[in-house]
Chain A
Amino acid sequence: MKKVFLVILIVAMIFSISAMAKTHLVWSVHWTDFQVDGVKDEDGNLVTKGIQQYVDEYMALNPEIEIEIQSVPFDEYLKKILISHTAGQVSDIYGLYSLWGVQLVESGILDNVPAEVEKLVSENCVEAAYNGSMIDGKLRGIPMEIDNYALLYNKDILAESGFENPPKTWQEMAEMASKMTKRSEDGTVDRYGFAFLSGWDSAVVHPYLSLLYSLGGNMFNEDFTECTLDSPEALEALKEELVLFKNGATDPAASVYGFASGKAAMIIMAPWYETSLRISFKDEYENKVGVAPFPYLKTPMTAGYTWFLGVDRASNHKKEAWEFLKWLTFDKMENGASRLGELMALNIAAIPPMKFDIEAYPDELDDLYTSVFVNELKNTISEPNVAQGQEIKTILMREIVEAWHGQKSPEEALRIAKEEIDEILEEFYF
């Protein structure tokens, strides 16, 4: 009798322990400390919420769910996904750069977006972000961040050089930049009129794509079976960039990061750079930093890119993961914004992709900096979600940089880029 009672007790304990066990979700993000833990003042008081506070809120509402945030720097993020998959340690939720999406989709990593979530996204999301999260004609996740490009200029340097307004076109910009470049006696550049950054693929490829789009060109044909960098538009876009190198407005040693220290008068940048500029310029921020739409060639246009939230197909808790994401991105707070929208607008300083979030933060998203990026969403074309996107982007960056250095003519650089990219497309689209 005693033995039977003991067995029943053990079985009951096992059942109650398993009933108490929480559903554990792992969420991989590429955000830094303050974006995860929130912005705190000198006394350690929370000033702006980070993603951890929203997760805590969700866990309080859903005690059976436990969410672990794994933060990995952007440069290591793709590596983390690859290695964790090989090791069988998959995360349940990812925030993904859409350019990596094709490989993840083709390898069967991403779960299908539930129909109700898809409907919510299509009803509420801005077009550029929606397109950016589409792969092979299908939505692959919930857009979480949309970035595009605009011209940042130093108001003081412009005024000092006799310019009242920022340039509207690329040609105007090239002319002004040349006049704003200052050289020291030994011939080195003390201040660049304009700066790219040759080692960073986005800072090379995205301005080039913006120029290409502005000319009505594209990098690929519609079904990705051919790279169209041999088009007259592609050549003209690169030649227009090279004008800046020829007229002394910039050189390959220039860096977009010189803008914050006054070493560059103008740069092309994305919205997320605002926080860094506020920190660098401190009280001088509003007096010195100006933002204008991307200086176009023929029509106003700019390149953009998207990050989206996806769920791993191998997750044991897909339903719970989608429920959490739905709450984070569509459950509205008192001001009509979602938690993710609040995080983007107040902490990360990126543009939230949902229209209701953009409307809910007029002060933050309609300020001197972000308003230009938000207005330019209508002219934003998302970079194409093509197989081996990262590899293709690196190839194009290398060839553009070779042309900047004068190592290759623009024709030769684009021809080689096209050949190498076509080889990749042939591997994946034929």
Chain B
Amino acid sequence: MRKGLRKRNLVGYGFIAPALIFYAVFFGFPVVFSLLVSTRRWNMLVPFEEARFYGFRHFEYLLKNELFMRALLNTCLYAIITVFVTISLSLIFATLINKSKFSVLWRFLYFTPIVTPPVAIGTIWNYLYKPNNGVFNHILGSVGIDPVYWLTDPNTVLFAVMITAIWGGIGSSMLIFTAGIQNIPQAYYDAAKIDGAGPFRQFWNITIPMLKPTILFLTATGMIGAWQVFDLPFIMGKNAPAKSIMTVSGYVYESAFQSMRMGRASAGAFILFIVIFIVTIFILRAFRKGGMSGYED
């Protein structure tokens, strides 16, 4: 009996072995290696074995460094605001579009930014934000508001990039919400209508609770992606003071490939990993009651 069980277990392990090996090679090893690199002073030009041991001084440096701490704050603001606004707007749009006449056309239009490379998006929005002939300042000017130096003013650059990111992110979230909304049984809405619930009450009491697993999924994946943001701030924020637009990934990139400080870059990446890990755990816990039970059912 025991022998049979052991054999069965072995077969089971055999089946999951490819996934485990893949996980170990492409996730486990880089994480362990990056932790190891973070304890060395290494410029990639000498063999890693020759790199000087540096203890946890890179971590100490980063946690005292004003630019890195600002990068953490900027990334945190970026992640919270873009994810919250993107999910809220895409939920509203998905609800509105779901029953509209040209829902397929609307979905197509909202989805278009997803297939556009971030570099192209960043470049186009750079033009829209131009101080003297950009579309946004033209609109502001037409209602008597003074022009804004969107991408160079340290007070506006991060928000300008967030607006672009939200615009670019609505499409995919909306598509997922649409699929979720279409899975909510019509009977719930019919019953609510009989009880006298208006469209807002139906949205608040039926649509949102039923979409909690979807919201959980989008929040968790959105947060993970947003904390790693690199492309749009890199493309759009070049002319602004670094402290107003630097993100953790940008800092890591610069440390590694401009300053040739792989140890510091790895320490930064490891801090980012820990932050994302904590945020994800927090989100999963916060949603456990509604969201996780939705999955568990």
Residues of A at under 8 Å CB distance from B? 78-79, 81-83, 85-86, 103-104, 107-109, 184, 186-190, 197-200, 251-253, 255, 388, 390-391, 394, 398, 401-402, 405, 407
Contacts and interface: CB of A to CB of B under 8 A. Distances in A.
User: Which secondary structure dominates chain B's binding surface?
Assistant: loop
Contacts of B43: 82, 103, 107
Give the 7 A-B CB pairs with smallest separation, nearest first. A199-B238, A107-B45, A188-B132, A391-B259, A82-B44, A253-B152, A79-B257
B109 interface: no
Given A109-B45, A188-B132, A407 B258 contact: no
Given A252-B152, A398-B241, A405-B241, A78 B257 contact: yes
Contacts of A252: 149, 152, 239-240
B265 to A, nearest CB: 11
B260 A405 contact: no
B214 to A, nearest CB: 39
Contacts of B46: 107-108
Interface residues of B, number: 27
Given A109-B45, A186-B147, A394 B259 contact: yes
8 contacts: A104-B45, A186-B137, A188-B147, A252-B240, A390-B260, A401-B242, A402-B241, A402-B243
A186 B146 contact: yes
B141 interface: yes
Nearest to A263: B132
Contacts of A184: 132
Given A187-B147, A398-B242, A82 B141 contact: no
Contacts of B146: 186-187
B113 interface: no
Contacts of A401: 241-242
A104 B146 CA distance: 50
Nearest to B138: A186
Interface string B267-295: 00000000000000000000000000000
B231 to A, nearest CB: 14
Nearest to B150: A253
Given A252-B240, A407-B241, 13 more contacts: A78-B260, A82-B43, A86-B44, A107-B45, A108-B45, A184-B132, A187-B147, A188-B137, A252-B239, A253-B149, A253-B152, A394-B259, A405-B154
B132 A85 contact: no
B239 A388 contact: no
Nearest to B242: A398
A17 B243 CA distance: 60
B40 interface: no
Nearest to A82: B44
B212 interface: no
A391 B45 contact: no
B261 interface: yes
Given A107-B43, A186-B141, A253 B131 contact: yes
Interface string B202-214: 0000000000000
A234 B132 CA distance: 33
A189 B259 contact: no
Contacts of B154: 405, 407
A221 B151 CA distance: 37
A122 B103 CA distance: 74
A108 B47 CA distance: 11
A251 B131 CA distance: 11
A252 B155 CA distance: 14
A83 B241 contact: no
A85 B67 CA distance: 29
Contact of A391 (B44, B141, B152, B261): B261
B73 to A, nearest CB: 16
A392 to B, nearest CB: 9
Contacts of A402: 241, 243
B60 interface: no
B254 interface: yes
Nearest to A86: B44
A394 B152 contact: no
Contacts of A85: 44-45
Contact of B258 (A78, A104, A189): A78
Contacts of A407: 154, 241, 243
Contacts of B131: 188-189, 253
